[in-house]
């Protein structure tokens, strides 16, 4: 992953019109070191929300922050090309559908909407706990996708002229 | 109130006033980030770490970056004065509104009051006693959000989805078309 980005900042930084986000070695090195920890922390907050404070919303925002850091360090356009402009929106849709089908699935199994405990019947261990964590993951995916998409959209501006 | 809490309140109030009064937009954004961070710490003091985490991540983190990205796109002329010239009448209206709203403060229970509705309400008791057996998660906040009020949370997810996708379409249809 870092191999791809290593080449981009030199070509990216000077062309940014008036932006303050000129790639500097300090920011790039810091982001490269900090990024995996922030990403892990985001996933921790998302998954461990069942047992400590946190949850999908907070974890999703922190995971989204990783993309923001990459954008600021290595150039927003380069990061968007690497991630793909459709992926964030696709993630948001997938997250909402996953949440929805979790609810519909429990109805199909004969229980109430979002009644996680019924998933034990099809062999999910600790159905209620893992059902809740799956939903938290879906929320996290939605929020991370929205944060990333907003970041790219605002950075690209209203006219969309410089979007690649 | 401990000195630490007092210092936090002073920080938050000072940052809020600075956000409104600073003339440079960049300074205002930075002051707003400091304000959000102070509010996040206050949430932790009030035993609401879930909310504090959200405020720190969204208010102090993401919003600051999005504001900065936005003001990059705007003209920011050189600022000769540090502070905005205060409009006395507008400031008077703002202070009056704050005073009127402050009258409701006396109706709130003290922090940690054992007799407040938060502590001895039947619904609260039910969640605290039954959340683990019924949902198998230790964090009662998560149990309420994802299990007891799961339908509400799904509505929130749908709101985030529609608001976000709508905003993306309005902002930049070329990128996401």
Q: Give the number of C-alpha atoms closer than 13 A to the C-alpha of residue A64, restricted to the C-beta side.
A: 32
Tokens read off for A86: 């459709």
Structural contact between residues A12 and A6, judged by C-beta atoms closer than 8 angstroms:
no
Residue A127 pLDDT exceeds 90:
no
Is the per-residue pLDDT at A6 higher than 50?
A: no
Mean pLDDT of chain A: 79
Question: Who has greater pLDDT, A124 or B13?
Answer: B13
Phi and psi for A84 in degrees, rounded to 5? 95, 135
DSSP assigned state of A162 = T
The Cα A96–Cα A74 span in angstroms is 30
Predicted confidence at residue A61, as pLDDT, reads 92
The answer, yes or no, to whether residue B177 has pLDDT greater than 50, is: no
Count contacts between A and B (CB, < 8 Å).
148
Which candidate in A18, A51, A58 is best for mutational testing of the B interface (most B CBs within 10 A)? A58
What residues of B are in contact with residue A141 (Cβ under 8 Å)? none
Under 8 Å CB-to-CB from B126, ≥6 apart: which residues? Answer: none
Tokens of B156: 């929130």
Residues 5-34 of A with CB under 8 A from B: 18-20
Percent of chain A with pLDDT over 70: 81
Extract the tokens encoding B169: 């379409």
- Whether B168 and A150 lie within 8 Å, measured CB to CB: yes
Against a cut of 0.95, is the pTM above it? no
CA distance B28 to A51: 37
Closest Cα in chain B to A136: B146
Q: How confident is the model at residue A158 (pLDDT cuts 50, 70, 90)?
A: low
Do residues B66 and A148 lie in contact, with contact meaning Cβ atoms separated by under 8 Å? no
Inter-chain touch A153–B168, beta carbons under 8 Å: yes
Residues A8-61 have pLDDT tens digits of: 444 444 444 445 556 688 888 889 999 999 999 999 988 887 778 778 888 999
Cβ B22 vs Cβ B71: under 8 Å: no
Lowest mean pLDDT among A102-111, B29-38, B93-102: A102-111
Helices B3-21, B25-45: crossing angle, 10 deg rounding: 150
pLDDT digits (tens, 9 = 90+) for B117-166: 777 788 888 888 888 877 778 888 888 888 888 888 888 889 999 998 88
pLDDT band at A130 (very low <50, low <70, confident <90, very high): confident
ipTM score assigned to the predicted complex: 0.80
**B138 to A20: CB separation less than 8 angstroms, yes or no:** no
Q: Answer whether A112 touches B (CB < 8 Å).
A: no
Sign of CA dihedral A42, A95, B50, B18: positive
Cα dihedral sign, B89-B95-B97-B99: negative
Structural domain boundaries of chain B?
Answer: 1-108, 111-177
Residues A54-80, mean pLDDT to the nearest whole number: 88
Per DSSP, what are the bridge partners of residue B83?
B22
What pLDDT sits at residue A23?
66
Does the pLDDT of residue B96 top 90, yes or no?
yes
DSSP state string for B107-135:
GSPPTT-TTSHHHH-HHHHHHHHHHHHHH
Q: Pick from B53, B141, B158: which is nearest to A96 by CB?
A: B158
In angstroms, the CA A12 to CA A29 distance is: 16
| Chain centroid, CA B19 distance in Å | 15
Neighbour-count burial of B4, counting CB atoms closer than 10 A to its CB (0-12 exposed, 13-18 middle, 19+ buried): exposed
Where do we find the tokens 């400590």?
A52
* Nearest of B175, B1, B99 to residue A76 by alpha carbon: B175
Q: How far apart are CA A20 and CA A13, in angstroms?
A: 10
A154: chain B residues, CB-CB within 8 Å: 66, 69-70, 171
Residue B100 has pLDDT above 90, yes or no: yes
Q: Rounded CA gap, B63 and A77, in Å?
A: 20
pLDDT at B172: 64
CB contact (8 A) between residue A142 and residue B161: yes
Distances B144 to A55, B123, B135, B138, B140 between C-alpha atoms, Å: 12, 11, 9, 11, 6
The alpha-carbon radius of gyration of chain A (Å, integer) is 19
Tell me how far apart the alpha carbons of residues A143 and A3 are, in angstroms, rounded to a whole number: 28
Asked if A140 and A46 count as a contact pair (C-beta separation under 8 A), the reply is yes
Convert the pLDDT of each residue in A30-40 to its tens digit: 899 999 999 99
Q: Tell me: the pLDDT tens digits for B53-94?
A: 989 999 888 999 889 888 887 877 776 777 878 888 988 999
Confidence of residue A2 (pLDDT cuts 50, 70, 90): very low
The distance between the two most distant Cα atoms of chain B, rounded to a whole number of Å, is 63
Tokens 């959209």 appear where? Answer: A153
Shortest distance, CA B157 to any CA of chain A (angstroms): 7
Average pLDDT over residues A123-137: 83
> B1-108 — its CATH code?
1.20.120.1200
């Amino acid at each position: 992953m870092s191999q791809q980005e290593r080449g981009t900042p030199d070509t990216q930084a000077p062309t940014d019109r008036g932006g303050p986000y000129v790639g500097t070695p300090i920011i790039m090195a810091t982001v490269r070191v900090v990024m995996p920890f922030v990403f892990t922390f985001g996933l921790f907050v998302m998954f461990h929300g069942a047992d400590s404070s946190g949850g999908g919303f907070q974890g999703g925002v922190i995971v989204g922050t990783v993309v923001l850091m990459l954008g600021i360090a290595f150039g927003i356009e380069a990061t968007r090309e690497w991630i793909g402009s459709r992926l964030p929106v696709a993630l948001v849709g997938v997250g909402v559908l996953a949440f929805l089908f979790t609810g519909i699935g429990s109805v199909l199994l004969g229980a109430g909407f979002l009644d996680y405990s019924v998933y034990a019947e099809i062999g999910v261990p600790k159905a209620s706990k893992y059902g809740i964590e799956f939903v938290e993951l879906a929320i996290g995916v939605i929020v991370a996708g929205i944060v990333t998409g907003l970041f790219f959209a605002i950075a690209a501006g209203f006219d969309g002229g410089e979007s690649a | 109130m401990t000195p630490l809490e007092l210092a936090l309140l002073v920080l938050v109030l000072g940052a809020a006033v600075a956000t409104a009064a600073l003339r440079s937009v960049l300074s205002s954004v930075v002051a707003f980030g400091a304000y959000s961070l102070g509010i996040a710490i206050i949430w932790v003091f009030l035993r609401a770490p879930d909310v504090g985490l959200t405020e720190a991540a969204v208010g102090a983190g993401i919003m600051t970056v999005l504001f900065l990205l936005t003001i990059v796109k705007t003209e920011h002329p050189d600022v000769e004065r540090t502070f905005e010239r205060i409009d006395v009448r507008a400031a008077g209206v703002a202070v009056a509104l704050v005073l009127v709203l402050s009258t409701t403060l006396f109706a709130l229970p003290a922090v940690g009051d054992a007799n407040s509705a938060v502590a001895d309400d039947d619904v609260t008791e039910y969640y605290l006693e039954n959340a683990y057996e019924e949902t198998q998660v230790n964090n009662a906040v998560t149990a309420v959000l994802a299990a007891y009020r799961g339908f509400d949370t799904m509505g929130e997810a749908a709101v985030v989805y529609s608001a976000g996708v709508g905003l993306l379409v309005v902002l930049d249809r070329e990128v996401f078309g």
